[in-house]
Structure 1
Amino acid sequence: MTPLPTDQHAFNYSPWYFWRDAGPEAQSDQIALQQDLSERLGYRFGDQCFVSVLAAVENDDLAFGDRTYVAAGAYLSGSLQAGRDCTINAYAVVRGQIRLGDAVRIGAHTSILGFNHTFSDPDTEVFRQPVWSRGITIGDDVWIGSHVVILDGVTVGDRAVIAAGAIVTKDVPAGAVVGGNPARVMRWRVPQPVPAASDLAAFADRAREQTSALLNRSWDPDSRMFTDRPGAPLTDPARSIRAQCDAVEIADLLLGRAPDQLPVEEQIQRLRAPQDLDLFDGADSYHVLCAGYALDLLGSEFPEPIRFLSTATPQEIAAGLRKLPWDGGAWHGGHIVDGLGTALHWNLRKGEPPQDGVIETLFGWLQLNADPRTGMWGEGAPDTGLLEIVNGFYRASRGTYAQFGRPLPYPERVIDTVLEHVRDARFFAPARQNACNVLDVAHPLWLTRHTGHRTAEVTAVAEKLLHQALGHWTDGAGFGFQTPHPSTRGLAATVPGLQGTEMWLAIIWLLADLTGTSSELGYRPRGVHRPEPAARLIPAALA
């Protein structure tokens, strides 16, 4: 049969037919083209790939898995790594730092742009200003319709679908179907793993039944003290106090009373340490949180106001805040702010307000220095992405805005930042999770839930993390700080203990509340991880 003139470019526009229907000469030419690109430019091709001679392929680096195709009119530049069975259809633009998983299909006239121009200098034309790139990552089995635009910095999860014409400016959850401008989750292609109400109730019942055994496991009768877990040393005073406080929190949460191992008055006296503390010292700052809330649950309090906060001047508070390592060390900065805010709470409860201007200085500094891009404080570190600022935000906001019920400066940006961070597999892959990192996304999402911003995505994240968390409980022992996994077997952080148990119980409540199922647990945190404000700032202090 004589080919029609309109057939001369058929494979260039429908490349998936090439290796089935093209003749030997055409296939030989395609192999030669790929060999030439490999030899001259270092490109790497799997078996039965296809690159149209009508495409513009100008990449600095390119690697294709088996059966990945580029159709006519496509424009490729930058660094592109694609898995198997990917198709870049006619007139698609794929530029910048791009990583495609397996079976990614990109519709015609779609633009995936993993770079952008800066435009910070108004006196320089934009095209003359530097280009920067965060890159775009697209997971496995993703369907991208025609005329879609995906902008730099976006991660698209596995098995997602992006509807034709969508403008994607934020991460797309795995299994989501998104569309619109800007793209929003419309429904789910893949049902999300949602714990049933009966699963939560059964978990809570099992935890309550095992609480006494769990506490006995960490009780050292010789020293009459709790350890984090059997065999943990008691030589570190800060860790020893932490274990006593964790035991108090767990017993209150699950049993509604103090631990049975020690008379309540003896527990109180052990925690009522002298209050000669420096709140810009990390250990002293944490003591105010840990011991303060444990005493509160035991019906007591510190014997005296926190003298550091009683005597500090606004200038001293401002100078101390400025010196904290917000750029690259935002967790430590947030840790100190948490201690300052909690000391303020205990002192106000005793009728001991700080010097005039201290409250305004603390909250004013936080308000002025919150980054409107992220809603948080400081900058991330190159090797840990957003981890430092997200974890630092939890600590700083917990002791101030959350503890006193004050509105956050940029709550929607907080949600955006947390949703971007939680896609980082370095910290949220099942084998990589720990109680600190998960708590530090669960609480900010809970604190900002009233905005209604990206609610479907927030709920999906909460359901996924909750489903994973419930599976980490070890009967008779509780939770380890780090999640157990075959690849982490033997690490001390995965051994169940009081710290991990106390934190994961609070995490599970926060995540369950985000999904509307917390009532099934039959408990609500009342200590350091309490969800509602612990107090209100006195009106005169804000006047």
Structure 2
Amino acid sequence: MTHIEPFLKKVRRTIEAHRTGQLGGYRQKLSDPLAADLYGTADAVILLYTLGELPEAGSSEHQHLVKILQSFQEPKDGFFSAASHHPVHRTAYAIAALELLDSKPCHPLTGLHTVKSRAGLHAWMESLDWAHLPWRESHKGAGIYAAMVLAGEVDREWEQWYFEWLDQEADPETGLWRKGAIHNGAPLFHHLASSFHYLFNQNYRKRPMRYPNQWIDTCLAMHNDGQIPLKAGALAFVELDVLYTLISAAEQTRHRENELNSMIQAIGSHLLSSITALSDGPEDALFEDTHSLCGTVCALALVQSVMPERVTADRVLRKILDRRPFI
């Protein structure tokens, strides 16, 4: 049994320490200048939502969070500005954070209007480097969906075009995206992490995996071969990507059920051990980076949901991907 409250207290102290002089503003890293940035503020929203501690709608703090996030948007093209990540990733990340605040961007996403046609959307997806940079490129391939849908820029017909393309391009051998690109460059885990980003879009609309059994076979083989890059006592998104994928597959098929459950337990146990290690140190210890912290806290919410008997806590953590896509 792992008592996660010491870790969550450290998370709360970290969020508070990342506040800036701007009301509602947060910085991503403690070593960054004391000024609000997009990722620090969006990360704070995600963390507070997961903890069940977002300011109440209508409150001054809630309004300031919304205004700060909206302030990062460029009126001329609708993209959100930040010092890192691709414009589509930061735009989707900001809009997804605004959704947690029941808000939307102030300006239309005119810089992305070329994908509003079926041909434009498919050209966008075809342009990604699926073989050599699938993980990085999935920020664009999945982000285009989250940004356009959560901003209210497209209708269900457009979503159907998007999902039909994904269905057609699912790899029948591995279950992952994209067929013809899986064994031609990047490590297999990069394809799994990439596919996770498309999976949460599908789950948002309750669309099934096309090849769930093959997806499970792929994950089990990677786990048995040591291809999943888990690091002890470290903040990361790896556990979130893998656990979300495994849990989603388990909800759709009973294929190799016992082995799959054993893998979920193994990844979950690894995360709980890391949580214990990350809780150690001085009472006033903090985490440097809110972005990697988001990955671990969101993964912890998954572990609590599937392994409740292993977790002691004063609250049930919220799972943001059950509400809306993109992380």
What's the TM-score, normalizing by structure 2? 0.79
Which residue of the partner structure matches residue 217 of structure 1?
A: 17
Q: Does 1:301 align with 2:98?
A: no
Which residue of the partner structure matches residue 436 of structure 1?
A: 237
Aligned counterpart for 1:411 among listed residues 190, 194, 212: 212
Aligned-pair distance for 1:288?
Answer: 3.1
Name the count of aligned residue pairs: 306
- Structure 2: where are the runs of 5+ without partners? none
Which residue of the partner structure matches residue 331 of structure 1?
A: 135
Secondary structure of the residue aligned to 1:453 is coil
Summarize the alignment of residues 101-500 of structure 1 with structure 2, pairs less than 5 Å apart. Answer: 196=1, 199=2, 202-203=3-4, 205-221=5-21, 225-232=25-32, 240-258=37-55, 263-272=61-70, 273-274=73-74, 276-277=77-78, 283-308=86-111, 312-348=116-152, 352-354=153-155, 358-378=158-178, 379-380=181-182, 385-398=187-200, 400-425=201-226, 427-431=228-232, 435-450=236-251, 451-473=253-275, 474-475=278-279, 496-500=288-292
Per-residue CA distance 1:439-495 (angstroms, 9 max, x = gap): 22111111111212222222222222222222323346789xxxxxxxxxxxxxxx6
Query: How far apart, in 1, do the equivalents of 2:284 and 2:189 lie?
Result: 29
Aligned Cα root-mean-square deviation (Å): 3.4
The AA in structure 1 aligned to 2:14 is L
Identity of aligned residues (%): 18
- Structure 1: where are the runs of 5+ without partners? 1-195, 480-494, 535-543
On the 8 A contact 1:426/1:432 being kept in 2, the answer is: no
The AA in structure 2 aligned to 1:505 is V
- Are the structure 2 counterparts of residues 434 and 206 from structure 1 closer, same or farther at C-alpha, using a change threshold of 3 Å? closer
Aligned counterpart for 1:523 among listed residues 302, 308, 316: 316
- Are the structure 2 counterparts of residues 498 and 322 from structure 1 closer, same or farther at C-alpha, using a change threshold of 3 Å? same
Q: Does 1:505 align with 2:297?
A: yes
On the 8 A contact 1:324/1:333 being kept in 2, the answer is: yes
What's the TM-score, normalizing by structure 1? 0.50
The AA in structure 1 aligned to 2:215 is V
- Are the structure 2 counterparts of residues 269 and 514 from structure 1 closer, same or farther at C-alpha, using a change threshold of 3 Å? same
Per-residue CA distance 1:477-517 (angstroms, 9 max, x = gap): 789xxxxxxxxxxxxxxx65312222111112223433455
Query: How far apart, in 1, do the equivalents of 2:143 and 2:227 lie?
Result: 29
- Are the structure 2 counterparts of residues 452 and 477 from structure 1 closer, same or farther at C-alpha, using a change threshold of 3 Å? farther
| Structure richer in strand, relative to its length | 1
- Are the structure 2 counterparts of residues 241 and 358 from structure 1 closer, same or farther at C-alpha, using a change threshold of 3 Å? same
On the 8 A contact 1:331/1:388 being kept in 2, the answer is: yes
On the 8 A contact 1:335/1:396 being kept in 2, the answer is: no
Relative CO higher for 1 or 2, CA cutoff 8 Å, sep ≥ 6?
2
Larger radius of gyration: 1
Moved more, 240-249 or 453-462: 453-462
Query: How far apart, in 1, do the equivalents of 2:149 and 2:22 lie?
Result: 35
Summarize the alignment of residues 46-57 of structure 1 with structure 2, pairs less than 5 Å apart. Answer: none
